[in-house]
Amino acid sequence: MKFSELPTPCYVVDEALIERNLKILKSVTDRTGARILLAQKAFSMYTLYPLIGKFLNGATASGLYEARLCAEEMTSPAAAEGRILENHIFSPAYRETDFPEILQYCDTIIFNSWKQVEKFGPRAKAAGKSIGLRINPECSTQEGHAIYDPCAPGSRLGVTKENFGKISDSEPDSSSLLPMLDGLHFHTLCEQNSDDLERTLNAVEEKFGRYLPDMKWINFGGGHHITRADYCIPKLERCIIRMREKYGLTVYLEPGEAVALNAGFLVTTVLEIVHNDMDIAILDTSAACHMPDVLEMPYRPPLQNSGQPGGKAYTYRLGGPTCLAGDIIGDYSFDQPLQEGDRLVFEDMAIYSMVKNNTFNGMPLPAIALRQKDGECRIIKQFCYEDFKGRL
């Protein structure tokens, strides 16, 4: 199938562009010895897990279902080929009923508090798992959006320096639990460059450096935009090598966006043109349902063959077909007037799209397609009424 023949709305992930990103990440591993894992929370298109597993060292999960997906679609197939990939997991708190399966699927389990270590750590150790603790270096590098800042005041994520060694009537004795740890984990970045990592790493050393010689690994978490054109890879590599040489640690990275950055599209069709102070195009795709980060971040997604408002001859506000008044994708300009039936192609739509979309208003989920290296497109999945009904 040709790209122009795909149904709309449709997510299209480009295999060649994914591989380009993977090669950049693999080059970091080759030069530094760091182990890089796919953060499935950003991109879980498991059709591509065999390809991802050929370049990365495994995946990391935020819960049981992602851990199982990695086991079924990435680590188990790789093991059948004689390759060993890793399956990590972190959650702010684990459910007792989930933990037996987590032990079944995961190699490394990261906890968010000493109480969680006390509750689940002995079982994880008895099962031969590597265990870690998430720390909070209290070093905010976000600007403007506390929702994305794990170091914001009152954060529930990670143990601070004050609480790392605290012993009180309500807290377990961390000194007795410390020998159980194999590593420390921090995740404080979001779509950021390596200068923010370097600054954060300085804070980690300042607050937790005394514990690092006793660890086997350190995990830098995610949020590293390694495959972005302006990302400073040499500085990232210096940070990795610093931890390896100074403390003898294996370094893990958990990029999600960097794996699929600028490697996907969302194809949509113009349904109607209306006018209310300005021209408004109603599409068959919804910001609220199909690209929720447009409203949550918020941001204006790139659109092929368009410009900023007023930059080209014809400006339109692009909106979705739901009842939500704020279901607006953004304002764009075009060289020619838009017409009903025109197809528009949004870019950078592989990340945080399929993993976050929803069926609000009974909106059909977009189809999922793969554009192969030969340029041909293959529909991986299409959704129907039963997919909507089955969630209710």
Residue 176: predicted pLDDT: 85
How deeply is 87 buried, as exposed, middle or buried, from its count of CB atoms within 10 A (0-12, 13-18, 19+)?
Answer: buried
- CATH, range 3-10+264-349+357-389: 2.40.37.10
Taking 50 as the pLDDT cut, the residues of the chain under it are: none
Residue 147: predicted pLDDT: 85
pTM summary value: 0.95
Residue 256: predicted pLDDT: 97
Residues of the chain with CATH 3.20.20.10: 33-260
Residues of the chain with CATH 2.40.37.10: 3-10+264-349+357-389
Residue 386: predicted pLDDT: 97
Pair type for strands 250-253 and 35-36 = parallel
Half-sphere exposure of residue 3: CA atoms within 13 angstroms, side-chain side: 16
How many other CB atoms are found less than 10 A from the CB of residue 174?
Answer: 19
Residue 357: predicted pLDDT: 97
Residue 168: predicted pLDDT: 52
Residue 142: predicted pLDDT: 83
Supply 167's token pair: 């012993």
Peptide bond into 298 cis (omega under 30): yes
Smallest Cα–Cα separation from 288: which of 356, 384, 367? 356
64 in Cβ contact with 40 (< 8 Å) = no
Residue 86: predicted pLDDT: 98
Residue 169: predicted pLDDT: 57
Residue 67: predicted pLDDT: 98
Residue 293: predicted pLDDT: 92
Gap between the Cα atoms of 54 and 383, Å rounded: 29
Residue 170: predicted pLDDT: 63
Positive/negative CA dihedral, 31, 17, 378, 386:
positive
Q: Does domain 33-260 have CATH number 3.90.1150.10?
A: no
Residue 65: predicted pLDDT: 98
Q: How far apart are the first and last CA of the chain?
A: 33
Residue 131: predicted pLDDT: 98
Smallest Cα–Cα separation from 53: which of 31, 32, 69? 69
